[in-house]
Structure 1
C-alpha cells in the first residue's frame, strides 16, 4: 500500500507554508497528499440539540479550510493526488493517528520574524514527539522553505538513529538534486570518564573520535547512494548550536530520534528541542525503528 504524505492545516499562515511545502514534497516523491483539518466541533455539537437551522460556525470554518486548502494544492500541482478530510479529534491526536499509515507528517510553525524561535506551536512539538513516522516542522525564511540553498544538513548523533537519519537525508538529497552535509559535534568533558582519559589525551583525541564515528555512520548509510555529494563536518561545541549554524542557509535539517518503550513516544533531547525552536530551515525528526 502506498503511504501518503500527511499535512495538518488550520487556515493560519504557518499551516499554509506547511501545506505548500508538503505539496511540493509529495510531488517530488510522487506520493499522494492527505490534508487533515482537526476539529472537535462535531463531537460537542452533536451532543447538544440545535434550536436553529443555522449551521455552526465551526462547521463552516472547517469546510472553508478544507476546500481552500485542496484548491490551493491543485493550483500549485494539478497532477498531484490530493485528498482533504476533517478529523473529529484534537489536532495532536488526529495527526499522531495519521502517522500510523503516513510516509511522513508535516506541520507548520507559529510566529514570524524574531519571535519565531520562541513560538514553536505545541501541536508541532507534541506531534514530533509522538508520531510513528518522520515529522517535518516547516520553519525558516522563504529561501530555506523553498529549497534555494541546495543542501540538506543531517545531525550525526548516536550510531543507530544517526544511520536512519542519514539515509533519510540522502533520499531527500537524491530527490532534490542537492548535496548533504553531515555534522558531528564534540566537546572535551571537564572530567573525562572514558578510555581517552586513561591515555591522558587532549582535545585532538576527542575530535578524532568524533570523526571516526562520523565516518563509520556514513560508510554504512551512503552505500546505496554513491552519487550524492556528502560533506563531513566535525565541530567543537554544543550540538544544537553546530547544527543550527550549519542549517542557517540549508533547505532541510534532519535529526534522528529513538523510540522509547511502547507508548512512551520518542526521546527528543535538548538538541532536537533547540533545533525545532530555533533552526532557520524546515526540521525533520526521523524515528529509528
Structure 2
C-alpha cells in the first residue's frame, strides 16, 4: 500500500496554500492525500459537565475546516484520493505520529492565530525538527509554488545527513520532468595565511575541487539509478545558508538533509536548514537520513 502525503491544516491562508501544493504533489507521485486537523475540543469538553445540547463551537469549527479543505483538494484535482479527519491532540503530536506512515508531511509556513510578522510558525519548525519522514514547509512565494522555475535544488552537505536528501531531490526532479541542481558550498577560512596570491589561489582551487568531488560522490549511485534526470553540479564559494537562500529564488523546491542527534529525540537541523525554513523563496523539504 502506498503511503499517503499527509497535510496539517488549520484553516489559515498558509495551510490552504499547503493543501493546494500537496494536491499537485500527490498527483505527481500518484499518492493518496490525507488531511488532518488537530483539535483538543474533546479534552476541554470532557473536563466539565455540559448542560447544552448544542455541539461545542470548537468541534463545529474543526469539522467545518477539515470538510472545507477536503472539498478544496477535490475541486483542485478530483483524481487525487483525498481523506480528512479531526484528531484529538495538539498539532505537533498529531503530525509526528502520522510521520512513520507518511510519504511526507506538509505544512504551511504559519498557522492560524500566529503573529503575521512571524517568518515561520512554531508547529512547522517543531515538526521539521522531529519528524521521522520528510517534512515540506510550503512557503508562500506564488511563482515558486506553481513551479515556474522548472528546477529542484538540493544542498549537498555532510555525507552523514545527505543521502536521503539527494534521493528525495532526484525523485522529485524525475516525477516533475525538471532539472536538478546539486550545490555544495565551500569556504576559504578567514584565518588562512595569504603570503602569496598564487598560494591563496591554489588553496581555493583545492577546496573547490574537494567540493566538486563531494558532489560526484553524493550523486554517483543515485544517478546510475535515475540516468534520465538532468543534473548540474555546482560547487559554490560562500556560507551554505547564503548560497542556498540565493538559489531558492529560482527554484520550485529546495531540499536539505538533517541528521539524528545521538542520545536525543529528533534531528539536528543546523543553521542552513533553519535559514531556509525561515527565509526561503520556495517550498523547503527537510529530509532525515535513512535509519
TM value normalised by structure 1? 0.93
- In the alignment of these two chains, the number of paired residues is 281
Give the C-alpha shift of residue 2 in structure 1: 2.0
Q: In the aligned structure 2, how far is the partner of 1:71 from the partner of 1:3?
A: 21
Q: In the aligned structure 1, how far is the partner of 2:211 from the partner of 2:125?
A: 29
Residue correspondence of structure 1 range 1-289 to structure 2 within 5 A? 1-110=1-110, 118-191=118-191, 202-261=203-262, 264-289=265-290
For the residue of structure 1 that corresponds to 2:7, the secondary structure is strand
Q: In the aligned structure 2, how far is the partner of 1:42 from the partner of 1:163?
A: 42
Q: Is the 8 A contact 2:14 2:140 kept in 1?
A: no
Deviations 1:34-84 (A, max 9, x none): 100001111111221111122211011001001101111111111211110
Q: Is the 8 A contact 2:17 2:140 kept in 1?
A: no
Give the C-alpha shift of residue 229 in structure 1: 0.6
> What are structure 1's unaligned runs of at least 5 residues?
193-198
After superposition, the Cα gap between the structure-2 partners of 1:133 and 1:151, relative to the gap in structure 1 and judged at 3 Å, is same
Q: Which stretches of structure 1, 4 residues or more, deviate above 6 A after TM superposition?
A: none
For the residue of structure 1 that corresponds to 2:286, the secondary structure is strand
Deviations 1:85-125 (A, max 9, x none): 011001001000000110100000129xxx98852000000
Q: Is the 8 A contact 1:117 1:278 kept in 2?
A: no
RMSD: 1.9
Q: Single out whichever of 216-225 and 148-157 deviates more from structure 2.
A: 216-225
Give the C-alpha shift of residue 262 in structure 1: 5.9
After superposition, the Cα gap between the structure-2 partners of 1:164 and 1:68, relative to the gap in structure 1 and judged at 3 Å, is same
> What are structure 2's unaligned runs of at least 5 residues?
193-198
Give the C-alpha shift of residue 215 in structure 1: 1.4
Matched residue, 1:195: none
